[in-house]
Structure 1
Amino acid sequence: QLGGIGEQFQYIMRDETIHLNFGLDLINGIKAENPDVWTDDFKAEIIEMINEAVKLEINYAKDCLQDGILGLNADMFEEYVKYIANRRVERIGIEQQFPGAQNPFPWMSETIDIAKEKNFFETRVTEYQTSGNLEW
């Protein structure tokens, strides 16, 4: 009965990845077209915002995962957030802010990095029963 849930998560993850890549391409495009705005002061401001975002994500994880759950705890989530932050800043030309951070969820990268070619609107619905027993 829950067969479509995983597929829906894949579509959401695909869409979020598209949004992420658009944002990174936009930032890199602005940098290329306006190199004068990419100053050391501006990079320092971006780094400050990234570090604040990482701190907030870690605090959120500590609040939500105080006791942890099977395969996930606050320390692992903290490491993942730092790892992801490093990946993101590198893609806009800023050095890693959390050297040595590793991905504690390798399965997550496999899921995110898989190319998703299927179109939701072109798939066949298989999770519903036929309406043979309905009377009008």
Structure 2
Amino acid sequence: MRVRAPRVKHFFDDGEYYCLLNRDFVVLGGTHDEGEWDTTVNDDTSNRILEENKRRIPEIMGAEIISHHVGLRPFRSSLRIEKETIRDNNGKETTIIHNYGHGGSGVTLFWGSALYVTELLENLRSHL
């Protein structure tokens, strides 16, 4: 969920719940529902996320709730960030850059992943 909480000045993530700063709001979360594909907002889950984050970060008390969101974050036991070259039946090669499996950590890992993908692309371009 997104809340307006200007008193919050730090990120928080204890592996169960998290608070991520943004320019105009704070993102609160904390679910790990393996095999769950429903993207409907669940009021009980929203209330639990809010209350547990308040308990961990008192500055969230009184925060204005801006919006609720449900996202699916596919997870792998390890990230897949690599270059793969495939060949079609005519012998034409195509290079694919894989970049997935971040799970709920994508919002914190994407900068490093994007930089690494950029490096892979630059190396590929230098060999053309």
Q: Same fold (TM over 0.5)?
A: no
**Structure of higher RCO (CA pairs closer than 8 Å, 6+ residues apart):** 1
Q: With structure 1 as the length reference, what TM-score do the two structures score?
A: 0.23
Looking at secondary structure, tell me which structure has more strand per residue. Answer: 2
Q: Say which structure is richer in helix.
A: 1
